[in-house]
Amino acid sequence: MKLTFPPVETEEQIMELAQLAAEIWREYYVSIITMEQIDFMIGKFQSAQAIKDQIHQQGYEYYSIQNDGHAVGYMSVRQEEGKLFLSKFYIAKEHRGHGYASKAMVFLVQLCQERSLSDIWLTVNRHNEASIAVYEKKGFQIVREQVADIGNGYVMDDYVMEKAIELRVT
């Protein structure tokens, strides 16, 4: 197994990621939210155009999670006020449970250390018990609750979780 985290930059990479995102979201979230909300959120946040806008206009960085050159998941991050916001972190169903999330977390911690960022923070649906358990295992703690109106009558009912990063002393 050779796990790598190449940045997503080209039009082709963005199209491939958007397709992977749609597959993962439709499989994973159907037990938590309606298919209508999933489709709305994919269009708003994970379509090729939305990803392109996030990268080129909103300061997000997308990374493919690849095992031997094959995409098994993806992440999206943005630096904000001395912290790293982990906006997206997904692994395809058939690749879960193989340690990819742990290796991706090591990559994110190293990114924080290289950039002198003090924390990684994220939002997670309050009913997404499996992901909350994974994040807690990786050292994240719930710091508050947040409800965000995302339009079309939908809200994201989330926990905000944070993980402190030990900065290297040079």
Joined together, the tokens standing for residue 130 give 């499996």
In a domain, 63, yes or no: yes
Query: Looking at residue 167, what is its pLDDT?
Result: 78
Which amino acid is it at 9? E
Question: Distance between CA atoms of 15 and 133, rounded to whole angstroms?
Answer: 31
Query: Looking at residue 31, what is its pLDDT?
Result: 87
Q: Supply the pTM of this predicted model.
A: 0.93
Query: Looking at residue 169, what is its pLDDT?
Result: 65
In a domain, 170, yes or no: no
Query: How many structural domains does the chain have?
Result: 1
Query: Looking at residue 170, what is its pLDDT?
Result: 58
Please give the DSSP secondary-structure letter assigned to residue 7: B
In a domain, 149, yes or no: no
In a domain, 146, yes or no: no
CATH code: domain of residue 68: 3.40.630.30
In a domain, 169, yes or no: no
Is the Cα dihedral 16, 93, 120, 159 positive or negative?
positive
Show the domain range for 105: 3-119
In a domain, 19, yes or no: yes
Query: Looking at residue 30, what is its pLDDT?
Result: 87
Mean pLDDT by 10 residues, the chain (170 residues): 93 96 93 92 95 97 96 97 96 94 96 96 94 95 95 92 85
Joined together, the tokens standing for residue 153 give 């009558």
Question: Distance between CA atoms of 50 and 58, rounded to whole angstroms?
Answer: 10
Runs of H (alpha helix) within 10-160: 11-28, 35-41, 48-57, 100-115, 129-137
In a domain, 143, yes or no: no
In a domain, 61, yes or no: yes
Residue whose pair of structure tokens reads 């098994």 in the numeric block: 72
Question: Distance between CA atoms of 159 and 79, rounded to whole angstroms?
Answer: 19
Joined together, the tokens standing for residue 154 give 């939908």
